[in-house]
Structure 1
Amino acid sequence: MYAVDDRYKDTSHHSGQIKITVRHIKDPEKIEIIVEDNGIGIDEDRYAAFCTVDTDFKRAKGGKGVGRLFWLDAFSSIVIESYYMEGDTSHRRCLSFELKNKDQITDAIIDQKFRTLSGIGTSIRFKGIRIEEYSKYFPKRQDTFLRYFGAHFISEFLTGSCPEITVDIDGKLSRYPEQISSLVVGNPMKTGEFELDDFGKLEIVGFTCDKAASTGLEGSHQLHLLAHGRTVETRKIDNLLGVESLTRDDKDDLVFHGCLSGAYLDSRVNEGRTAFNLPESILKEITRKCVDEIKIKLIPDQVKAYKGRRKERFEDFVKSYPIYGFDSTDAQLDRLPIHAKTPEDFASGLVKYQIRNDEDRQRRIELVIDALDRAEDIPENFTKSIIEAAEGIQNSERLALAQHVVRRKLVLEILEKLLLRLRRQEGKSDNFQLEKTLHSLFVPMNVRGDDPTECESRSHDLWMIDERLAFTRAFSSDKRLDQILKSDASDDRPDVVIWDFAVGMGVIDPWAGEDAVDISKPLSKVLIIEFKRPMRKSYPKAEDQIERQIVKYLSQLKGNELESFGRKRIRIAQDCIFHCFVVADIVGDLEEQLSSWETTANGEGRIRRLGGNYQGTIEVIQWQDLVNDAWQRNASTLFAAGLKRGIIK
């Protein structure tokens, strides 16, 4: 490139030609690379500089005078053929360049001219990679080779200011700068010179490109750090820029490429122009400050639009996860990195602030309590402290309640949609799968709630049936009776059996923790739940009789012993009261089966007292009544959280 510039000056990008031919790219021992140009050639002055180690001949352009020493280290054979002008006469120079103790540069006899570019110019032929340290890392695929090549000269290729370069790799041609400059959309954007403390005057030329310009690079948006016009290092700036993609000239899904240059970088590049002599912390600081300049000076409208979309996403996030709404939207977004734009990003970025906020509130409350305990005089600002502590508790309670209610609202909406789907799918083949889904929505199937190894069994939504079941742990779901009873060979599977449901009825001590069930006393209350498919109309068999099915379960439970997960046995009292719920639609055979039962208070369900050997009731709840009751029980908290029942169509 320098040779072409020296010959053609300002017209080098029109008149200059460079050709790179690569043969046997996959075989380091046989590889051959020929680099040709129609530049000024190796005249006497340039030959003298070539023969001088550490020459400053190209110092003004950033050349360190050591590039050819890397050639010697890397390649087994190097042959140079050059045509140049002395006055009006054309001359030819051929030489070999070899790694040895003396006479590294010798005249070469080239029987057959290997240049393909005619006239004045130079060709250099490299053959065979000399040592493993180079061959191991040399790219062995065309796309990898071109990726490194394109990145090193990205600034020239983006601006289109370099000569025409043809790269021929085993017969496959690529042309530059067309390969890169054709991906640029619109004109370059320039910051002009700006000054950063400690780094002097810098300048950025920005390009909006098709995303193919970032192929092979890590990330989408890139900042290329240049020294003397060559790319030394490329840095992904996606997380600093924040913007997912750019839009320009009616094209979207574009990426940003910026070329950063300045005297500070020129003076701090290594001899091979492969890295800067700067610590990583300094490079990160330069990159961060330069991206700030890009956002302000080159793409302010795109950044503004991105921040607007990001704010909307965050507000939607807080609606679903209200506990993160402990400060204003703008304050919360300022705490987050600019690239945070998903619920996971928001949550992970704010959780530490949430913890700090909770700890600060807790500390202030403890100070108030401590002041009340002391016999000292109450300070003048004590009233204010009390009010602030109360407000902190109320705010925390409001956020926690909102989080709780949002989840319940979603669960109820899923239940309604699932019921609607089941009714529409009546008689279809996927009904069985949907029935299992319906059961699992209330409580996971084939689990025991008292099994500490089954994490999923800890999570359920039995509150939809009865609020007192919200925190129950001692239950079995879709388990065979012979798996939960001490002495029973039955393979019957009640949908749900619960034995610690009635916290408010004195069955357990609510303050007793995980082992709340008092196993020294027989269980006096047990709850059984059966789910029947919505809109099921046929109950033709004797065992399909609701009362018969329930009584069969009771006969096996009464007087038996539940075997808890820890092998502890819990006796079921002879006079145990059984609360049995059947959730079903009262249609078809079931309507006739329950015709003699009493109606429930709302006139829709059915209820019957157990008689004979059993105490308790069997209550049949219609599916829609169960949903409506659950909505109604949560109405006040929904209202307090600013939510309302969804409309299911």
Structure 2
Amino acid sequence: MSNVNVSRVIENIRGVTTVYTAIVEVIVNAIQATEQNSSQAGEVKIRAIRSAQLEADGSLPDITGFEIQDNGIGFTKENRDSFDTLYTDLKISDGGKGFGRFICLKYFDRLQVESDYKAQDSFFHRSFRMGKGKEIIVDESNGPSKASASRTIVRLEWIKKMKSLDKRLETIARNLAEKLLPYFITANYNCPKIVLSELDDSDAVVLNDFVSNQISSVIQEIPLTKDSFELTFDETIEQFHIRLFKFFFPKNLKSRISLVAHKREVSSSVLHGYIPEFSEDFYERTPGPDGGAARNYIVKAYVFGRFLDRHVSLERGSFDLSAGGEPLYKITQDDIETSAAEIAKEALGSDILIRQQKKQEDVQTYVDDLAPWHKYVVKSLDLTSMPYNPSAEEIEMRLQREKYRHEVQLRKDVDQILAGAALGDLRPNVARVVEAISESGKNDLVHYIALRRNILELFGKSLELDDGGAYQSEGLVHDIIFPRKGDTEITAFNDHNLWIIDERLNFSSYVSSDIPLNGGKSERPDLAVYDKRILFRGDNEASNPITIFEFKKPQRDDFVNPSSKDDPIQQIIRYVNSIRDGKYKTPKGKKMLVETNTPFYGYVVCDLTSKVEEWLLREKNFKVMPDRLGWFLWYENINLYIEVLSWDKILRDARLRNRIFFHKLGIS
């Protein structure tokens, strides 16, 4: 009689388990029972119990449970008492934890046992059910039997989560074969025959056949030149053995590493977590005409060792190798899996090498086509841990991390030289660091120039007609050149593109864009609307020039009409006079310093239609530039020089100024 709170035991199961853990637990007990019966060849039959309710679409009914039958020694008194004892040590030599049957009730509502066994030259029949209260064994009966051989049937009934199992026996058989594979492949061990079928023994699948020979169509072993490795634990060398298999037609499964204890798969980790090239299926062709048919497969590595046998957890869902994130032992699960992954990598040598080369080509193509500023960084980049078939974002993140690593190392080297730690080798050390700094600087320059190329392409697009035959909004061009509602106090150097107009504008001390210079409703330089102006200046010194821009939307020329109040030339002149009269201040509220000889530059950017050109020539007395893409005039009395430029000229000149950089840096 037991006195165990069975329900609490089941609730406290914390290991990584599944419904297959419960099924395998019963199968393994059946295998061990056949090992104890030397009178006949061992056999285990697994029969699926299906729902009596038929599916409306005619498909297979759900599987609600299993009947596992073996021809082992049966539930003798010793086995019965062991079942009735929590944490029994009866099978401790075989790795038994005395706990597995409780996992069955985590996934099935009922566990029923029927067994014929031999005692004192007579056969007896024992039946019972596993309880859920204080008793482990309930509803027990035991008496003489007419059986002529021992056997046991364990029924797992009323699965708690119906969708946790596939309806097809082929799928279940494959999953069970994979989990029981260590029994089929353990050296010097003859596994009993294990058969999965319907309840009436139809549609039988022999699990042993999955790996019975080297021409298996489902599972095939990969020969290894190195099938073991060693790790050191507490000055003791631990030996591990590995066997590698191909699993054909894996569907959504991934290549994995399985750690085995006492012939049972305990844990499984994806191989691509250690070697990224294992993230996708492999392919091979079967012998036949025209090269045969292609079939895909994944790889699974099974690792064995006494160390694993000793440290498997109570629920057999993990290993007790760490606690609270800290290793309990010097050998960790990661150490074991890393070593196994390297052996798997060597075994798949040519396939892995091809994938590594492809990954290298993908990264190089990304750098050549999209990020040439990383050419210096990619030379030393270790791609070992980078995902296979990486996305552009993943490549960029890895390159950025490598760039940061370089910069950190450079700072350390410079600090060391400056501290005089390597004074005797000063010259070679300095030369090395200077060379590295030069390469790093070139890397940043290429990045900057490449961004310029992209900006010019975007700027050119903004000057084209859209699909509806209209020009882009004023705000688009504004934001490309200088963001709206900003000035140099809040807009970083990298966030504007004043160089499109003139490289010198990059060195302006302050720029106002769409912000009233004197607050309130005062006039404001504004790039958001083409009819407003923008003002640039270097340091606030009387000798430094002040530059004013007036933009007009492409193809707009109504500002030349006599009735228009938007004459851009007159607007610039009025704006210059207001500044000369001291009406405006800097963004910091200081007086804008000007003298009679302070130079002013005015620029009107618009499309030079025939109407605009006639207006400039006949009414404004402007002179045409040699390329006929611009006009100019000098207003001597107010020290103002004005140019009227076409949008095409702005774009063309910017491209010409930068083309040599694109070419020299290999990004043209």
Same fold (TM over 0.5): yes
**Which residue of 163, 166, 177 corresponds with 1:142?**
163
Q: Which amino acid aligns with 1:432?
A: Q
Deviation at 1:304, TM superposition (A): 0.9
CA contact (8 A) 1:423 1:535 kept: no
Match of 2:244 in 1: 205
- CA change 1:443–1:70 in 2 (3 A) is same
Matched, 1:270 2:313: yes
CA contact (8 A) 1:597 1:606 kept: yes
- CA change 1:314–1:213 in 2 (3 A) is closer
What pairs with 1:484-495 in structure 2 (closer than 5 Å)?
Answer: 484-486=517-519, 488-490=521-523, 493-494=526-527
Match of 2:282 in 1: 247
Match of 1:514 in 2: none
Q: Distance in 2 between matches of 1:557 and 1:167?
A: 96
Matched, 1:593 2:615: yes
CA contact (8 A) 1:17 1:38 kept: yes
**Which residue of 74, 87, 105 corresponds with 1:43?**
74
**Which residue of 153, 167, 182 corresponds with 1:122?**
153
CA contact (8 A) 1:240 1:288 kept: yes
Could you list the runs of 5+ residues in structure 1 that have no partner in the other structure?
Answer: 25-31, 110-118, 129-138, 169-174, 215-219, 372-378, 503-507, 509-517
Deviation at 1:492, TM superposition (A): 7.2
Deviation at 1:245, TM superposition (A): 1.9
Q: Which secondary structure state, in structure 1, belongs to the residue aligned with residue 385 of structure 2?
A: coil
Matched, 1:17 2:46: yes
Superposed CA deviations along residues 338-374 of structure 1, whole A, max 9, x for unmatched, are 5485333423541453124322452466368998xxx
Deviation at 1:208, TM superposition (A): 5.0
- CA change 1:152–1:234 in 2 (3 A) is farther
Measured on the aligned residues, the alpha-carbon RMSD in Å equals 5.0
- CA change 1:449–1:20 in 2 (3 A) is farther
Match of 2:60 in 1: none
Q: Distance in 2 between matches of 1:547 and 1:425?
A: 29
Deviation at 1:233, TM superposition (A): 1.6
Q: Which secondary structure state, in structure 1, belongs to the residue aligned with residue 382 of structure 2?
A: helix
Identity %: 16
Matched, 1:550 2:590: no
CA contact (8 A) 1:221 1:236 kept: yes
CA contact (8 A) 2:130 2:137 kept: yes
Q: Distance in 1 between matches of 2:544 and 2:655?
A: 30
Q: Distance in 1 between matches of 2:507 and 2:197?
A: 72
Deviation at 1:273, TM superposition (A): 1.3
What pairs with 1:562-581 in structure 2 (closer than 5 Å)?
Answer: 562=584, 567-571=588-592, 573=594, 575=596, 576-581=598-603
CA contact (8 A) 2:487 2:511 kept: yes
Deviation at 1:621, TM superposition (A): 2.9
Q: Which secondary structure state, in structure 1, belongs to the residue aligned with residue 654 of structure 2?
A: helix
CA contact (8 A) 1:209 1:257 kept: no
Q: Which amino acid aligns with 1:266?
A: D
Matched, 1:437 2:467: no
Deviation at 1:158, TM superposition (A): 7.7
Deviation at 1:283, TM superposition (A): 0.6
Q: Distance in 1 between matches of 2:166 and 2:377?
A: 51
- CA change 1:564–1:499 in 2 (3 A) is same
Q: Which secondary structure state, in structure 2, belongs to the residue aligned with residue 197 of structure 1?
A: strand
Deviation at 1:292, TM superposition (A): 1.0
Match of 1:459 in 2: 495
- CA change 1:259–1:466 in 2 (3 A) is same
Matched, 1:311 2:360: yes
Q: Which secondary structure state, in structure 2, belongs to the residue aligned with residue 423 of structure 1?
A: coil
Superposed CA deviations along residues 438-486 of structure 1, whole A, max 9, x for unmatched, are 33222222322213xx66x761121222222235462123x15xx3324
Q: Distance in 2 between matches of 1:276 and 1:366?
A: 51
Deviation at 1:288, TM superposition (A): 1.2
CA contact (8 A) 2:112 2:129 kept: yes
What pairs with 1:64-463 in structure 2 (closer than 5 Å)?
Answer: 64-68=97-101, 78-82=111-115, 92-98=125-131, 104=137, 106-107=139-140, 121-124=152-155, 142-143=163-164, 153=176, 155-156=178-179, 163=194, 165=196, 187-191=220-224, 193-198=227-232, 199-208=238-247, 212-214=251-253, 220-243=254-277, 244-249=279-284, 256-279=299-322, 280=327, 282-297=332-347, 299-316=348-365, 318-319=367-368, 325-326=375-376, 329=379, 331-333=380-382, 337-339=385-387, 341=390, 342-363=394-415, 366=418, 384-385=427-428, 389-390=430-431, 392-416=433-457, 418-420=459-461, 422-425=463-466, 428-429=469-470, 431-433=471-473, 435-451=474-490, 459-463=495-499
Q: Distance in 2 between matches of 1:77 and 1:141?
A: 14
Q: Distance in 1 between matches of 2:554 and 2:496?
A: 21
Could you list the runs of 5+ residues in structure 2 that have no partner in the other structure?
Answer: 1-26, 54-62, 143-149, 185-192, 200-204, 212-216, 233-237, 286-293
User: TM-score if structure 2 supplies the norm length?
Assistant: 0.68
CA contact (8 A) 2:222 2:245 kept: yes
Q: Distance in 1 between matches of 2:489 and 2:400?
A: 31
Deviation at 1:291, TM superposition (A): 0.9
Deviation at 1:75, TM superposition (A): 8.6
Deviation at 1:94, TM superposition (A): 1.8
Deviation at 1:633, TM superposition (A): 3.1
Deviation at 1:72, TM superposition (A): 7.8
CA contact (8 A) 1:4 1:163 kept: no
CA contact (8 A) 1:325 1:399 kept: no
- CA change 1:207–1:622 in 2 (3 A) is farther
Q: Distance in 2 between matches of 1:619 and 1:398?
A: 41
- CA change 1:155–1:446 in 2 (3 A) is same
- CA change 1:617–1:160 in 2 (3 A) is farther
Q: Which amino acid aligns with 2:364?
A: E
Q: Distance in 1 between matches of 2:488 and 2:153?
A: 81
Deviation at 1:563, TM superposition (A): 5.4
Superposed CA deviations along residues 190-221 of structure 1, whole A, max 9, x for unmatched, are 5463222333131132335667444xxxxx54
Matched, 1:528 2:548: yes
Deviation at 1:544, TM superposition (A): 4.9
- 193-202 or 491-500: which moved more? 491-500
